[in-house]
Each structure stands twice: as C-alpha cells, then as structure tokens.
Structure 1
Amino acid sequence: MFTPPAGRRIGEVWFDRDGDEALPLLVKYIFTSERLSIQVHPDDVQARAAGLAGGKEECWYILDCAPDAVLGIGLTKSLTPEDFAAAARDGSIEQLIEWKPVKPGDFYFIRAGTVHAIGANIALAEIQQNADVTYRLYDYGRPRELHLRQGQAVSRLAPYDRPALHANLGESRSLLSPGEAPFAVNLCHLRAGQATLPLDGRPLWFLPLRGIGTINGAPFDKGECWLIDDGDDVAIETDCDALVAAVS
C-alpha cells in the first residue's frame, strides 16, 4: 500500500520488498505529465555479458489517459545501426519512433530490445523484471546522461511486431502467457464472495483496479499491489477487477 505525501505530485509509485533478497518482479504505477525519455533495455543474456544481474522485460496496462495520449513502441521502419545511432544523436529518433494512440484498457508487452517511450498524460500499471537497467537514447534536450553505445548494441532496429491487446474491466483474460515472457499477466474479474485465484505454489502480484476486499483481514483497494502466497486468505467483498502476475 502507498500513501502519497501531502502536497506533492507523484510520477511513479514502486512496489518492492525491503531486505537483502529482491523480488523477481517489480510493480509500478506511472503517471506522466510530459513524454518520458526514449530508451531500451537489454535481455538477460546481454545484461549478464555486461556484468549486470539480469535484463528487463516489462508490460504496460493503461489505466487512464488523455484522448490524444500516445506510447512510443518500436520504430516506424527498419534502420541500420549507423542510421539509428545518428538519429539518436541528432534527435530525429523522435520522428522514427512509432507513436501509438492509446486508451484505457490497452496492454503492451515491451520485449527487451524494444525502443520505447511513454507519452504525456497517461496513468498506467507497469509489471517488469526487477532489474535496474535502462539505456537512455534520447531525452528531448533534458540534461541527463545518455547511453547510446550500450543502447545501440541491444536495440531491435525494426517495427514492433506484437499485436496490441485491449481488455476492459469486467473481463477475465490472459494478457501475457508464460511462454512469451519471464512472467505471466492476467486480467481477472472476481465476483463478490469469490476467493479463487490461480495459486499453484507460486506467489502472485495482485493489483486491484476496481472493487474492495481483504487479504488476511487487511482491506485492499485500487491503486495498491499485494504479494499473495498459498495460505493467504483472500476475500472479495464487491465485484473486483485486478491484474494478477506470476513468475513463469
């Protein structure tokens, strides 16, 4: 559960666990007022070759957005490494990103190597491998460090090729299957009085989007993230929609 500081605007809320052992997944709620940087993440093999613990694949579920909101995912055309590097240096990469119109309920899986950016005026839930590895390619002139050499080496220099998914609250469906990624994600619609979640010995990351209930007697509400294990008592008090994630 997260309680925002009084009088402060919050751009990201992270849900992780304190302690020496990091969880395999990290959940964030992201709220944008301007375009975020154009960036890319390595996969596990690429990250370990660079001396890092692991790579990062992530997914986005749009909670709310302005009517003209967009996500940048992949490129509008295939590029050579040389043309890609030049576009990142001179800023023309902004015109080579495919900016996709989005609406609440849209879901995108961002494979490692996918050049991407989150546009302005979007609220989304992000579920990702718990790795702090981002190669920033372009930042609209803001004075932050760029990682052009590392980013060029891991980027897929082509359009995004995975079909978009749309899932409204009230539906139950798989958004990301175990064979597609290191983790699976489902949108679940749970009826009042129902307490069945797909527990099979694995912990679940439970993100309530609508409705109320309790976990081990503690109330949950939208905008939170709970880690649920076998034996936890989940009670659904009103019809509830939630994103549910598990490690594959």
Structure 2
Amino acid sequence: MSRRLETKTLEKVWGRKGISAPFSNDPELQIGEIWFEPQAPVEDLLVKYLFTSEKLSVQVHPCDADAQRMGLGTVGKEECWLILDAEPGAAVALGLDDEYSAEAVRAAAIDGSIEEMLVWHEARPGDFFHVPPGTIHAIGPGLTLLEIQQNTDITFRLFDYGRPRELHLDQAMECADFAPYPAQYRSHVRGDASEVLLDGAAFTVTLLKGPHEMVGLEDALVIPLRGYLALGDERIDAGSCAMLASGDLLTTSEDAEAIVAQSD
C-alpha cells in the first residue's frame, strides 16, 4: 500500500539553523539531515535532505562484495546527490588528484594532508553526482542537497578536521579507490524534460517534469521537489517522500518536479 513516509530530523555539528521552506523546524536547531523512514517494499533505499554549514568528514563506503567480505552485512553503500541550492563557491570533494598507494593515502589521512589530495568540484543547483562505493568523498559547506542511497550506514571516516570522532583507516584502506573521480559520474539536469539521472547502479533515479499519471509502476520512492503529487486522495507536497506500491496510481501536478528512485 502506497503511503507518505515518516520524517526524521537530525541535528549535526555541520548542520544549519533556520533552514528554509518547504521545511519547518525550530530556528535554534542546527539541522543537518532530514530523512524518511524506509518501509517495505522499498526498505532497501534511504532518502535524505542534507543542509551544510561546515565540511563533512572525508569518508568512503564499501560495495556489496566488500561489505560481505568484511562481515558487515549483505549490502554496501552506493549513493548519489542532487544539488538543490548552493552558496557561491560551494563544492563537493570526489576522488583524488592522482593515483596513490594505500600507504600514501593512509599517511595523508593521519597527518591531515589528505585535504590536499582531494579534488573539490564546484556545485551548482541542478548538478547530479553519482558516488559509487569506494569513492573517497566529502561534502562542503553552503549546500542543500538530496541524497539517495542504499539503506545502510556503513561509513569509514579517513579525516574529520579535528572533531573527536572515531576514524576507520584500516577498513577504509580495504575498500577505497585511490584514484580520480571519473567525469562521467557527474551530470547536470536539463530542466526542460523528464530524464533518467542514474541507471545501471544499485538503483535507478529518474527526474519527472510536469503532469504525469502512472499506474502499475514498480515499487518506488517518489520525492516531489516542486509542485505536488497525489496518491489517491492524499496530496504529497515538496519536502515529503512517498512510497509507491506496485499497481497504485500516482499523479503529478502541472508544475511538478519529482524524483523517482527504484531498486534495480
């Protein structure tokens, strides 16, 4: 049965106060993430909004095979980001500026010089980044983004700017790619038509533009970014996420812009 997913709001040291509409929160809370509680039959995907005022840790996630080999479960963590808002100069770090040995990256993580190895990519609204498992990455300040990921929280931190949190260098060395970020993993939404943003990964991400009426769509998560969508008589506005069960009817408004995520 299709339904609106429950929202969970998380404070983070790198979050922001006074986040803007369509979200409404206590202006004194430093919100870092708003995410939606997964439910069957789409419990293998997790959708989050992120709001940043500081750099997030430099980190890496394992693929399915690495997670299984390391005894961490059956799935790793593949993710993607759609940039919704960005202050001037805002950027995300993806990949390294050259190919390195594991020993060199480990030493750089310990002494902090890994920041000099990272490649920071300017981020603008409409930019879309696929972050395959193994990609060394970080998110910079001044960003609002939508993240879609496999529903695990297997994160190995390599560097955290002096914050008193645990690092996971041994595990990170086992699954990281010590190389540049491939250019084909970055794109920019056209903005004038529906399009597939990600395919051939652990999940598929599609951008819907304008009015649609769909029935029989395979189980999916639908996230309205503008306008609204309707599941039967229930209206789902921007800032929410709905789980669409196979066979149920989905309609979108004339001015709608929505993301549809489905497991492959």
Taking structure 1 as the reference length, the TM-score comes to 0.91
**Mapped partners of 1:241, 1:42: distance in 2:** 32
| Match of residue 174 from structure 1 | 196
Matched, 1:227 2:248: no
| Match of residue 205 from structure 1 | 221
| Match of residue 187 from structure 1 | 207
Taking structure 2 as the reference length, the TM-score comes to 0.86
RMSD, aligned CA: 1.8
Which residue identity does 1:101 align to in structure 2? E
Which residue identity does 2:131 align to in structure 1? I
Match of 1:35 among 37, 41, 55: 55
**Mapped partners of 1:142, 1:234: distance in 2:** 44
Mark the CA change 1:168 to 1:124 in structure 2 (over 3 Å): closer, same or farther. farther
| Match of residue 13 from structure 2 | none
| CA displacement at 1:168 relative to structure 2 | 4.3
Report if the CA contact (8 A) 2:223-2:241 is conserved: yes
| Match of residue 76 from structure 1 | 97
**Mapped partners of 1:17, 1:142: distance in 2:** 30
**Mapped partners of 1:60, 1:22: distance in 2:** 19
- Give secondary structure in 2 for the equivalent of 1:94: helix
Report if the CA contact (8 A) 2:38-2:45 is conserved: no
| CA displacement at 1:161 relative to structure 2 | 1.0
**Range with bigger deviation, 127-136 or 217-226:** 217-226
1:128-147 residue CA offsets vs partner (Å, 9 max, x unmatched): 01111000000001110000
**Mapped partners of 2:83, 2:238: distance in 1:** 14
| Match of residue 155 from structure 1 | 176
1:167-209 residue CA offsets vs partner (Å, 9 max, x unmatched): 04443111111x2x11011111132xx3137x44x21110111
Q: Structure 2, unaligned stretches of length 5 or more? A: 1-5, 8-22
Q: Structure 1, unaligned stretches of length 5 or more? A: none
Identity of aligned residues (%): 43
| Match of residue 52 from structure 1 | 72
Mark the CA change 1:170 to 1:221 in structure 2 (over 3 Å): closer, same or farther. farther
Higher strand share: 2
